[in-house]
Structure 1
Amino acid sequence: MLRLSKLTDYAVVVLLRLAEAEGVQTTPCLAGATGIAEPTVAKVLKSLGNAGLVESQRGARGGYRLARPLSGLPLSEVIVAIDGPIALTACVDSAAGSCDAEWICPVRGRWDPVNEVIRQALAGVTLADLARPPVAPQDRCSQTQPPPMAAPAALAAE
């Protein structure tokens, strides 16, 4: 199963909160607004800052702000900033020495195209896409079934 880390999930939440806020936001403010522990928010912001996704401002009115709009922040960059390179297996991108069975592996190097497709898919989703409200599913039953009929008068009288 391909699953993102909790820190990556928290990073997305923090970035979306920064986009909603006006101006610079402090770590304690972001922690309170998101419900994420302050040390975790600080850790996430440090990684996001190192990756150039957020900018920090020092001083009495210091804090963090987005380095660019949500539409310019691909999900893939957030994942790489927090979790490192996107890789399905240890031998992706023809990495050598990361697997005990690489010398006999029949699929060595064959995961690279799959990994590239996943990277491209994640790069095609921006945080602006994630910030949009979800589309409510349509109630299929109400569209395909006629409204319920009233009970016959004889049954209603009983």
Structure 2
Amino acid sequence: MRLSSLADYAVVMMSATARHCGGVARLNATRLAEDTGLPLPTVQKLVSRLSAAGLVETGRGAAGGFRLARPAAAISLADIVEAVEGPIALTTCVDADRHDCAVEGSCRVRPHWGGVNALVRDALASVSLATISSSAGPEPVEPTLSQLDPALRPGAGVHA
């Protein structure tokens, strides 16, 4: 499982925007492309998508450019990924509008994908842009199997 390059670049770009602007000043795409090493057309494309999602505000003219639409602490990784990728869905099973699975009628795994998908989305939603744009690195977080599935907790399923 891997984010697309565009989603990854959007996170890099939003992090740099948060560090430069703090939500107040405006930044232009050329400067951001230079600072991040991303190609200017990619930055422009992402500004358009992030603006459409309400994550950045854009302005034209001498005081133009873009800035965060809300404080970095109020923007999550899930917000950024969904602005670029659409709703987070690990499989088509979690998409209620899709019914194109060949084994849908007999699948015993499908009922579990919604919960797994929710855990992944919640994990991304729990990390703010403020956290990833700070100069201090966060404490490493390594979820355990017991956090992902209560049945895997020590002692689960063991009967005396």
- Counterpart residue type for residue 83 of structure 2: A
CA shift, 1:93, in A, is 4.3
CA shift, 1:59, in A, is 1.4
TM-score (norm: length of structure 2)? 0.77
Kindly, what percent of the aligned residue pairs are identical? 45
* 2:44 alignment partner in structure 1: 42
- Structure 2 alignment gaps of length 5 or more: 141-160
- Counterpart residue type for residue 10 of structure 1: Y
CA RMSD of aligned residues (A): 1.9
Q: 1:71 touches 1:126 (CA, 8 Å); kept in 2?
A: yes
Where do 1:138-157 residues align within 5 Å?
none
Separation in structure 2 between the aligned mates of residue 77 and residue 55 of structure 1, nearest angstrom: 15
Separation in structure 2 between the aligned mates of residue 102 and residue 120 of structure 1, nearest angstrom: 26
CA shift, 1:136, in A, is 9.0
Match of 2:118 among 102, 116, 119: 116
TM-score (norm: length of structure 1)? 0.78
Q: Is 1:28–2:27 an aligned residue pair?
A: no
Where do 1:13-92 residues align within 5 Å?
13-22=12-21, 23-92=25-94
Separation in structure 2 between the aligned mates of residue 96 and residue 82 of structure 1, nearest angstrom: 20
* 1:141 alignment partner in structure 2: none
Q: Which structure has the bigger radius of gyration?
A: 1
Q: 1:94 touches 1:109 (CA, 8 Å); kept in 2?
A: no
Inter-CA distance 16–98: structure 2 relative to 1 (3 Å threshold): same
Where do 1:99-138 residues align within 5 Å?
99-132=101-134, 133-134=136-137
Q: 1:94 touches 1:108 (CA, 8 Å); kept in 2?
A: no
CA shift, 1:128, in A, is 1.3
Separation in structure 2 between the aligned mates of residue 89 and residue 71 of structure 1, nearest angstrom: 29
- Structure 1 alignment gaps of length 5 or more: 138-158
Which 4+ runs in 1 deviate beyond 6 A?
none
CA shift, 1:62, in A, is 1.0
- Counterpart residue type for residue 48 of structure 1: L
